[in-house]
Structure formats: C-alpha cells, structure tokens
A and B are shown apart, each in its own frame.
Chain A
Amino acid sequence: MSTESAPAPQSGTAEDVKQGPRIAVSALTTNLREYGLIIALIVIMLFFQYTTSGTLFKPVNLSNLVQQNSFIIVMALGMLLVIVAGYIDLSVGSVAGFIGALAAMMMVIWPLGIFSNPLVVSIVCLIVGALIGAAQGYWIAYHKIPSFIVTLAGMLIFRGICQALLGGGSSVGPLPDSFKALSSGFIPDVIGPLTLIPPTVNAAGKTIVGSGLTLHMTTIVLGLIAVLAYAYFGFRTRRKRERHGYEAEPFPLFVIKTLVGGALALFLVFQFASYRGLPVVLLVMGVLISLFVFVTKRMTIGRRIYAMGGNAKAAQLSGINTERLTLLVFINMGVLSALGGLIIAARLGQAVPAAGLGSELDVIAAVFIGGASAMGGVGQVIGAVVGGFIMGVMNNGMSIMGVNVDWQQVVKGLVLLGAVIFDVYNKNKA
C-alpha cells in the first residue's frame, strides 16, 4: 500500500515576510485545506440536522453523541501518534475490552477491599494499559518486528483474555455509579442553575420534561472561559509573530476564524447547558485533546515523533533515540486504550465480552479521515479528532434516520475512501 493520504505538513499558517501580496492568497488556501475537514464536519452535521428533522442538535442527543464516541476519540489521540510515527496498532479494541473486563472484575467480583474503589481500579487499569503498550512496543522498537504483526497478535490475545476473564459469554456488572459517572456523568453545577423560562406544569402538578429553559451555569461559565482563552491565546501568538517581524495570517481571516470558532463553541456550550451540563467525559476529552495538540505542536518529543515517521534513519542519525521513542508511543497508546476501555465499561454499566470489538478500525479510520499519512510523518491531532467526530455524527445521524446498520458500514467505508482520495488529489494538485 503506497497510498499517501498526506495534506501539507503542519506548516503553521505563516509565510516568510518577503512574500508580499501573495501571502493573503496562500494563507487562505492553506487555511481552507486545514479547515476543510472542520467545514466537512459542519456540513455533515447540518445534513443530519435536516434529515433527522432537528433531532441531531437537540441537547440530549448532543450529550449522547459525545458519550457514544468519546472512547473512539480518546484512542484516536494515541493512534495518531502511532500512525505518525510510522506504525499501526490493531490491538486497541481488544485492549479496551480486556481493561473493561479487568475493571469490572476488580470492582464487582474479586474481594479486593479498598482496592475495588473505582478510582484505585482506574489507576491500576491505566498502569496495566501502559504495561501492555510497553510489552507490544518492546518487540516493535527493539526487535523490529512489524507493528502490524505484533498488534495483530495482541488483538487476538487480549480479546481472548477479556473473554476468559468474564467466564465465557457472560457480562459482569452492575458497576458502581461513581464509576459510571466517568461516561454518563455531568459536571456538578457549583454556581447553580439559572432558569430562563420556567417549565410548564401539567394538570397533575408535575413539570413537563423538556419544557422551559434552565441553564447549567457552571457549563456556561466554563465555556465562556474556554472561548475567551482561545481568542486570547490566538491573539497573543499573532502579536508575538508580528513583534518578531514574521507575517501572521491576515487579520480579517484571523477575526473571522476566531468569531466563527467561538460562536460555534458557544452554541454547543449553550446546548449542553440547557440539558444537564457538560458531560464529564467531554471535559476529560477536552483536556486530553489540548494536551496532545500541545505535545505535537510545541514539544520536542512531538517533533521527534514526526521526524521519525518522516525518515527514521535520518532521525536516528540526528541523535534521536528512535527505539525509546517508539516504545513511548506504544505505552501512550496502551494507556489511552485502557482509558477507552474504562469509558466503554462506564457507559455500558458493565463489562461485556464484545466491548470495543472492531473499534480499532473506527479509531484508525478516524485518524486517516483526519488526514494522516499511512506512510507516517504526517497527521494532526485536530484532524484525528474531527475525523472521529465525523464518524460519530454519521453513526448517530444514520441511527436516528433508521438506516440499517449494514448500510451504515457501507457509508462509513465510502466516507473513509472519499476523504483519503480527496487528500491525495489535493496533494497532487499542489
């Protein structure tokens, strides 16, 4: 497979100073390519909003959507690094299933006393995930066994252990509520709700569900802080570039970008606030996404991963310890697979033998839809996240529309193929 699905590498949006008037055009085109994916997501959302007669954007459905897909996106963050580094990990679905089973056994079946506390269990599970990643990464990094083979073996092994742990076909549960909050919980409203429109009371004296409008104020405040921080840091980076004499993207474009982005974010925040507030898992995801954006864009370790994926030999001869870096990438993947497994178990409220089955393919698809290259060296965190949401929105939208699951698969496959063809076409044109 020599298909290269590579958009331009992360080049930032700035050009050199002496570019003159061409800069506006080039900034626009690079931005279009970069934001093309986000625009695609918005278009897809609007499409389903229309075909589901407005159900998609309903606050309760948005919460569902996030809760259903968060584990894919969490794992896609790790998979992005794996793929950028030039590898693949097929075991993530099985590892997630195994960790879910392990967590359930520890909390429900095994008499562990204090160690069956959900928080302790979660920490232990993340450590086990790291060990699994290290075990697989060790063979890949230090013995140069192709990652496809090692993780294919891992996929079989951990699915098997998962099923064995659960004693064949049975499921283990119910899990404690405090654990389930990881997936289905909402952040507490420490500020207190604000009722804009009082709910209608029916004849029996009970409020009608969904009537009225009460806002979860903590969510609103957090949302506002996030949007302001986004605008502030964007502006500060601009100023810094200009102070050093480097051209930033044109100011109007920056303003439009910030306004549109901010407005969209505020809209979503408002929707969440008018339901039960920000889902806990969205907060976890948000923190992780920011962390990984920072690591890949700003940190030396991120840069080294890209360099290794782009040319491993050159990276090695530049003093980069490619073996250790590979190991770290897989340990990271193991931890995130474990987190994914915990999220799945928390959402289902129990561990089932099929948890996470086939999800490795959704995760990999999300990363490729997001513009990563199968050859390594190219790919963006935001791309993988948006790719994950595109898959999620399609799942959700088609389910609401009543599209048969079989045909949902066909559509997802076509979207994956289409996205990669689009990338390759764009790249050849450039």
Chain B
Amino acid sequence: MASTILEMRDITKTFPGVKALSNVNLSVEEGEIHAIVGENGAGKSTLMKVLSGVYPSGTYDGQIIFRGQECNFKGIHDSEHIGIVIIHQELALVPMLSIAENIFLGNEHASYGVIDWDANETRTAALLKKVGLKEDPKTLITNIGVGKQQLVEIAKALSKEVKLLILDEPTASLSEKDSQALLDLLLEFKRQGMTSILISHKLNEVNRVADKVTVIRDGRTIETLPRKDISEDRIITSMVGRSLDDRYPPREPQIGDVIFEVRDWSVYHPIHPERQVIKNVNLNVRKGEVVGIAGLMGAGRTEFAMSLFGRSYGRHITGEVSLHGKPLDLSSVSKAVENRIAYVTEDRKTYGLNLIDHIKHNVTLANLGGVSSRGVIDDMREMSVANDYRKKTNIRASSVYQLTGNLSGGNQQKVVLSKWLFADPEVLILDEPTRGIDVGAKYEIYTIIARLAAEGKAIIVISSEMPELLGISDRIYVMNEGRIVGEMAASDASQEKIMRAIVRGEGKKAS
C-alpha cells in the first residue's frame, strides 16, 4: 500500500477580483505519475505555483502536507530544500553557459566562492547518464536542441535530491521522438521510486504514462481518475464540462481553383550558407481549401513558411510564388502583407504579440492603414475594429484594454489571429496554431479556420499534431528534411501513411 506523499487541502487563491483556485484538493501517492489536466486558465499553473512557494504561505488559504509535514513555504528555495522541484514550460537555462554550469547554477561545488570544476563536471556527467544524455558537460546549452535542454533541466532537478518532480508541459516544444524519450525517462524514474506530477495538454501522453489523472476546471478539482478509468474521451468530457462528440467542427469544403502556388522554393541556412534548408519545394493551395503540412520537428516547415513570408528566414532564396497565376513579390513582410499573405507564427510570445501593450493595439498592428487616414489613427474606428474581432474570435478579456501579456495562451492566439484577419489576407499560413492551448480554445481556433475556408481563403496549416491535421485539412503535404516527401488527400490519409512517407523520405536520402 503506497503512502501519500503530498496532500493539498482546500487550496483557495484569490487575485484582486478573480478567484483563481477554490477549494482545490490534490492527493499524490508515493511513486506514482500523477497527471494534472485542465484548460488553460483552469488554475493548474497557479496550483503549482502555490505548491512550489512562488506564492508564499499566507497569500492563499488551505494546507500543503508533504511527507506528513505541514509546509509553509516562503519561497521556491524552501520547497526545493525539501525536494519539490518544478520544471517550467519555458526552460530556465542560460544559453551561453555550459551544461555543467547550468546544472549547478547557484548550487556550485565550491569552497569560499572558488568553484571546484572537476567535482562539478564529474557529478554532471553522472547526472547526464541518468537522463540518458551523452553530451560533454562542457557543451554550451545553446549548442544542444530543445529536447536535450529539457533533459538538462531534469538532470538539474535530480541534482537537487528531488523527491517530487513537477513537469509543466514538458513536451510542448519537443518532437515526437524526444517526447517519447522523455516519457520513457519518467517511467524509468517511476521504477526507481520517484514521484512525478505531469501537467500536459497532450492526452495521449497522459494516457500513456499516468497512474492517476486529476482534472481541474475553473479553479476547482473536478475529479481524480484512477488508471483504469483513464481515456481521452473521459478526460475531455471532464475538462470541458460537456462531451465533445467531435473534436473538430464539421465543415463542408467548397474548393475552387488553385489560387496560391509555390514553385521550386529553395532556401539556405542564414548562418551556415552551405546548408540547404529548403529543397525545391512545390506546393499549391486552392480557394477555400485547408492544406496541412505534416512533418517532424526540424523538417523545415517553419523555415519554409518564414522564408515565404517576406524572406524572414534564410538566404539565397530562390523560387517563384504566384497568386491567381500572377507572380508575387514577397521580398519584404510589408509587401507580403500588401499582397494579402499572412503568417501566424508558431511562437506567439516572441514573434506574434507586443505583450506590454493591450489587445486593441495588437489587433490593428498589421493593418494600421485600415484604421487611419493619412497617417492619423481614428481612435473610434480602431476601437470598434478591436471590439469586433474580440467578439468574432471570442477573446475572453475584461476589455480590449487588457494587456496581451496577461491573457491565457488560447486568448493570446486569438489576438494574433485577429491581427491577421484584420489584415484581410487571401492566403493564411498558420504555424502550429494550437500549440500549448487547451481543448476548448483549440475547438474555437478550428472553428475560425473552418469559417475562413468557407469564406474562400486559402489556408496552410503547419502542425506537429497529426490527428489535428487529419481533422481539419482537406489535403496534406508531408515534409521531411526540407523536402516535400508526400502529398495526400486528407480523406485517405492516416497517421501511419504520413509516418511512412517520412520514413520513405529518409530512405531516399540515404540511398
């Protein structure tokens, strides 16, 4: 009989005007992998911040009992001290320092401030072995991929004698392969007796590793499901509070002629000019069609999209683009926007939004001409545009004067979408449009995509989630290593077929 390692009782946390958590209960048993799922803004992160001491004791109501002791953390230091370590979604590594330096940052083996590098590196090597990394401890973080960086974070947690490991969306930016490796590692830790809490949107992952799932909705615990009751449908029903018969909105595609066409598109790496990143890509999109681009991380899909959109990526770009049969000049972003091409970036925080400004100003940014005359902005017109799109895309905010930095991921994505919708594009390239957002918001984004297609726009969706591509596209291109390695109608596509195209593409390269 396993004992309870952590109990959170009746946790209530209020922010001015909002009750973020109300009487949340969570009980985690020693040695299990406990998943926490819920829509964005449901309160998962807040709960974890309470647990790790980011919100110090006294700023919330309720009790935290860890290994039989009631805990009153004053800060992260206190929680780490007794073995609760949280790995955040956004990695907290210093890029220009080595793996060893990062792992022992703030915790160096040192006497009187003089660092014992040998000790640090020996210990780092041991830790890296535990997480299955073969990198030299002296390697700089910036030189390893995101997947490995995630593992370094875990190694860092292990260095702190972790008893309870909390992972917040650990696979959000990992490729399928890296994600699998990470999940395997979690299972391995479990065999060694470690307890973990996994926060994830990816229900198939939860399904695979979790022993228990706690669903949080609107700041309340809805239920905790034991292993035998875990199924995606069951979790979704519980998360959204209604049953989602269909995860994708129904649509009847009305597909016209080819309006957007790319021929022989080649791009070279911006820093290593001898590396060809995109290799003779040909692609077309019809009016009213949703075209998906499938592929693994690093297949070159984002690079392709960004090089198209005003040459925002790469050098020595060659190839032709045409809209309605006429060649298009996309040599700068403003020309691309003028020619009614829009690109919704995969990284909304870094490339999509001005987080310190409010919704209104973000929505009109790509089409200021639409709310101004002779360079003077009409405040009233801007206001009504912003309110209009807030309604159309269902942005949940107190007003259009809310800072976008304070919105949840799904609502931020809707602001970015609104910005591009207001620019009135004919061709819309959506790069990972639902990354890191919850099921409910995903459905809303799909609905918007379906509506745009119905309005006769040509839409390209880049996504690493194959079920999503299969669910919303009419046609799918498969990309691998900068090449288009397959094209199929969504009606006869399947995850296996896509994977096979990728693998065959790799084989072709090897031969």
Contacts and interface: CB of A to CB of B under 8 A. Distances in A.
A269 to B, nearest CB: 29
Given A244-B384, A303-B361, A307-B361, A11 B354 contact: no
Contact of B368 (A19, A240, A300, A321): A300
A310 B357 contact: yes
B501 interface: no
A319 B337 contact: yes
B334 interface: yes
B312 A316 contact: yes
B375 A318 contact: no
Contact of B376 (A11, A298, A310, A311): A298
Given A303-B361, A307-B365, A321-B334, A16 B399 contact: yes
B350 interface: yes
Contacts of A15: 399, 401
Among B356, B358, B379, B380, residue most surrounded by chain A Cβ atoms (within 10 Å):
B356
A6 B357 CA distance: 11
B377 A315 contact: no
Interface string B342-368: 010100001111111110010001101
Contacts of A320: 333-334, 365
Contacts of A257: none
A11 B401 contact: yes
Contact of A313 (B337, B351, B375): B351
A185 interface: no
Contact of B403 (A9, A298, A300): A9
A378 B351 contact: no
A114 interface: no
Contacts, number: 104
A9 B403 CA distance: 9
B366 A319 contact: yes
A6 to B, nearest CB: 7
Contacts of B383: 244, 246
A241 B380 contact: yes
Contacts of B399: 15-16, 19
B491 interface: no
Interface residues of A, number: 34
A109 B297 CA distance: 69
Given A19-B399, A316-B312, A318-B419, A377 B357 contact: yes
A275 interface: no
Contacts of B375: 299-301
Nearest to A317: B351
B380 A298 contact: no
A6 B423 CA distance: 30
Given A303-B361, A320-B334, A244 B380 contact: yes
Contacts of A318: 333, 337, 365-366, 419
A9 B377 CA distance: 17
B400 interface: yes
B343 A314 contact: no
B334 A9 contact: no
B357 A306 contact: yes
Interface string B320-353: 0000000000001110111000010100001111
A273 to B, nearest CB: 34
A4 to B, nearest CB: 9
Contacts of A276: none
Nearest to A240: B380
A11 B358 contact: yes
B462 to A, nearest CB: 15
A246 B377 CA distance: 17
Interface in A295-343: 298-301, 303-304, 306-307, 310-311, 313-321
A12 interface: yes
Contacts of A377: 354, 356-357
Q: Which of B309, B361, B372, B400 has the most CB of A within 10 A?
A: B361
B447 to A, nearest CB: 24
A304 B384 CA distance: 20
Contacts of B398: 16, 19
B369 interface: yes
B365 A299 contact: no
B380 A9 contact: no
Interface string B392-405: 00000011110100
A15 B387 CA distance: 12
Contact of B312 (A298, A317, A321): A317
A19 B334 CA distance: 37
Contacts of A298: 376-377, 379
Contacts of B376: 298-300
Contacts of A306: 354, 357, 361
Nearest to A313: B351
Nearest to B333: A319
Contact of B353 (A14, A16, A240, A314): A314
Given A16-B399, A310-B355, A377-B354, A317 B309 contact: yes
Contacts of A6: 356
Given A16-B401, A316-B312, A317-B333, A304 B356 contact: no
B333 A316 contact: yes
B200 to A, nearest CB: 27
Contact of A12 (B343, B354, B384, B401): B401
Contacts of B355: 310-311
Contact of B336 (A240, A307, A319): A319
Interface string A10-23: 01101110010000
A300 B351 contact: no
Contacts of A317: 309-310, 312, 333, 343, 345, 351-352
Interface in A260-301: 298-301
Contacts of A301: 375
A315 B365 contact: yes
Given A241-B380, A319-B334, A378 B356 contact: yes
Interface string A346-378: 000000000000000000000000000100011
A317 B336 CA distance: 10
Contacts of B377: 298-300, 303
A241 B384 CA distance: 11
A53 B361 CA distance: 48
Contacts of A311: 350, 353-356
A244 B357 CA distance: 23
A12 B358 CA distance: 11
Interface in A116-156: none
Interface in B379-432: 379-380, 383-384, 387, 398-401, 403, 419, 423
A394 B41 CA distance: 48
A333 to B, nearest CB: 20
A151 to B, nearest CB: 24
B345 to A, nearest CB: 6
Nearest to A244: B380
A306 B364 CA distance: 13
Q: Which of B368, B376, B377, B423 has the most CB of A within 10 A?
A: B368
Interface of B: 309-310, 312, 332-334, 336-338, 343, 345, 350-358, 361, 365-366, 368-369, 372, 375-377, 379-380, 383-384, 387, 398-401, 403, 419, 423
Given A19-B398, A300-B368, 8 more contacts: A9-B358, A12-B379, A298-B379, A316-B312, A318-B365, A319-B310, A319-B337, A321-B332
User: 5 nearest interchain CB pairs?
Assistant: A16-B399, A310-B354, A319-B337, A319-B334, A318-B366
Interface of A: 6, 9, 11-12, 14-16, 19, 240-241, 244, 246, 298-301, 303-304, 306-307, 310-311, 313-321, 373, 377-378
19 contacts: A9-B356, A12-B379, A14-B401, A16-B398, A19-B399, A241-B380, A300-B375, A303-B361, A306-B357, A310-B355, A311-B356, A316-B312, A317-B312, A318-B337, A319-B423, A320-B365, A321-B334, A373-B356, A377-B354
